[in-house]
């Protein structure tokens, strides 16, 4: 759901956002709107965008879900699970935090990854607070250029050393000292997103770092994404779980229809693959693999929606879609 606004974009008062090397951008170029002046807020109310950045597979999505208090981002042990920027909104009478989970930073190898990195760049632009997630095994972000930009940004930054439960105290102390040396202006803390260690303390510091502002979204909203998006993500999560090698990275899920008939929701979704051989693998012998994906996805979607669903999955070859910018735009990667 998009944020509300009482004025057309070209009549909105301008909010300037500090960027790399003190550059500024016009907010009309960003994918969000200014706070709605009609959204009432008490004096001293704080609100802002708290954006999560980091290498693939360091636990950004796990942290996002823990901070939001519900499962918005899909989670898998495979790298590059998150492809889009996903917002999760957390509210209190005195503050509103708009978290963003982003794809893992990387050096793009094809157009799809270029689109994923565009979400990262936008998250760097509109952040009020930045959460840089690393883990106890990492010495540098996967993309040095992104790290260089982060170190030059003038905004509250937290470097979070995740997976501390896989380390001992001596290594944890070493990691904190190492990252503090890399970026002295940042706050550095060890966390375990999986077990919630230090997450409550992190929330307190985030709230203190937010600017004084009215809310960006109505207080009853949880995310900016529609239900179709989360249905597609759940199906893609099951593809990541059940297939190996290049198959999960060659698939895109598109929800073609979503019909709510009251007690039953009928959903038709297509799994797009890049080659005919991939289609055969996704379907499996006598359709056994796609049936398994559908059964697992249906259970999670029913929990999400709170209703019985009928899920109809199809597989379609969409040749080389990962390198076709026009197709990627339709899939939401180059808005």
- Report pLDDT digits (tens) over 146-161: 999 999 999 999 999 9
Residue 36's pLDDT band, with cuts at 50, 70 and 90, is low
Query: Within 13 Å and on the Cβ side, how many CA atoms surround 156?
Result: 14
The 3-state DSSP class for residue 192 equals strand
Task: Identify the sign of the CA torsion 160, 161, 166, 167.
Answer: negative
Tell whether the model's pLDDT for residue 3 goes beyond 60.
no
The whole-number pLDDT of residue 35 equals 58
- Report pLDDT digits (tens) over 208-257: 999 999 999 999 999 989 999 999 999 999 999 999 888 999 999 999 99
Segment 3-25 mean pLDDT: 34
Q: For residue 232, is it left (φ>0), alpha (ψ between -120 and 50) or beta?
A: alpha
The whole-number pLDDT of residue 78 equals 81
The whole-number pLDDT of residue 37 equals 52
Q: Which is more confidently placed, 39 or 139? A: 139
CATH of domain 9-209: 3.40.50.300
Residue 75's pLDDT band, with cuts at 50, 70 and 90, is confident
pLDDT more than 70, % of the chain:
88
Least confident span in 28-42, 107-121, 124-138, 246-260: 28-42
The whole-number pLDDT of residue 13 equals 33
CA distance 136 to 178: 11
The whole-number pLDDT of residue 1 equals 39
Least confident span in 8-22, 29-43, 116-130: 8-22
CA distance 99 to 141: 20
Q: How far from 27 is each of 17, 77, 216, 333, CA to CA, in Å? A: 8, 36, 13, 20
Tell whether the model's pLDDT for residue 25 goes beyond 50.
no
Which of the 8 DSSP states describes residue 77? S
User: What topology does CATH give the domain 227-330?
Assistant: GMP Synthetase; Chain A, domain 3 (3.30.300)
The whole-number pLDDT of residue 34 equals 54
Residue 91's pLDDT band, with cuts at 50, 70 and 90, is very high
- Report pLDDT digits (tens) over 316-328: 999 989 999 999 9
The whole-number pLDDT of residue 18 equals 31
Q: Which is more confidently placed, 173 or 17? A: 173
Segment 107-125 mean pLDDT: 94
Could you tell me the two tokens for 167?
A: 């380390």
Segment 265-289 mean pLDDT: 96
- Report pLDDT digits (tens) over 266-277: 999 999 999 999
The whole-number pLDDT of residue 40 equals 72
Tell whether the model's pLDDT for residue 10 goes beyond 90.
no
Segment 53-77 mean pLDDT: 93
β-pair partners for 190: 161
The whole-number pLDDT of residue 33 equals 54
In terms of Cβ atoms closer than 10 Å to its own Cβ (0-12, 13-18, 19+), residue 275 is middle
What is the residue-averaged pLDDT of the chain? 88
Tell whether the model's pLDDT for residue 289 goes beyond 50.
yes
Listed by start position, the domains of the chain span: 9-209, 227-330
């Amino acid at each position: 759901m998009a944020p509300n606004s009482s004025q057309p974009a070209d009549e909105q008062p301008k909010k300037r956002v500090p960027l790399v090397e003190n550059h500024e951008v016009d907010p009309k170029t960003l994918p969000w709107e200014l706070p709605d002046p009609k959204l009432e807020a008490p004096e001293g109310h704080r609100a802002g965008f708290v954006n999560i950045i980091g290498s693939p597979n360091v636990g950004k999505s796990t942290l996002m879900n823990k901070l939001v208090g519900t499962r918005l981002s899909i989670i898998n042990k495979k790298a590059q699970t998150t492809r889009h920027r996903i917002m999760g909104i957390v509210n209190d009478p005195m503050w509103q935090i708009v978290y963003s989970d982003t794809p893992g930073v990387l050096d793009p190898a094809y157009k799809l990854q270029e689109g994923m990195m565009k979400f990262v760049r936008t998250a760097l632009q509109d952040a009020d607070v930045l959460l840089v997630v690393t883990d106890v095994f990492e010495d540098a972000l996967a993309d040095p250029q992104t790290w260089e930009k982060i170190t030059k940004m003038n905004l509250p930054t937290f470097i979070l050393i995740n997976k501390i439960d896989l380390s001992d105290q001596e290594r944890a102390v070493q990691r904190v000292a190492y990252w503090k040396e890399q970026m002295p202006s940042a706050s550095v803390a060890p966390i375990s997103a999986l077990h919630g260690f230090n997450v409550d303390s992190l929330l307190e510091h985030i709230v203190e770092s937010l600017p004084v502002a009215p809310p960006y979204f109505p207080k009853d909203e949880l995310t900016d994404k529609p239900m179709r998006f989360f249905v597609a993500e759940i199906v893609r999560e099951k593809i990541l779980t059940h297939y190996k090698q290049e198959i999960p990275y060659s698939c895109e899920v598109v929800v073609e229809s979503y019909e709510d008939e009251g007690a039953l929701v009928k959903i038709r979704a297509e799994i797009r693959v890049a080659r005919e051989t991939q289609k055969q693998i996704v379907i499996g012998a006598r359709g056994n693999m796609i049936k398994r994906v559908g059964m697992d996805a249906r259970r999670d979607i029913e929990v999400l929606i709170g209703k019985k669903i009928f899920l109809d999955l199809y597989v379609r070859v969409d040749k080389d879609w990962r390198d076709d910018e026009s197709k990627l735009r339709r899939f939401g990667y180059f808005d």
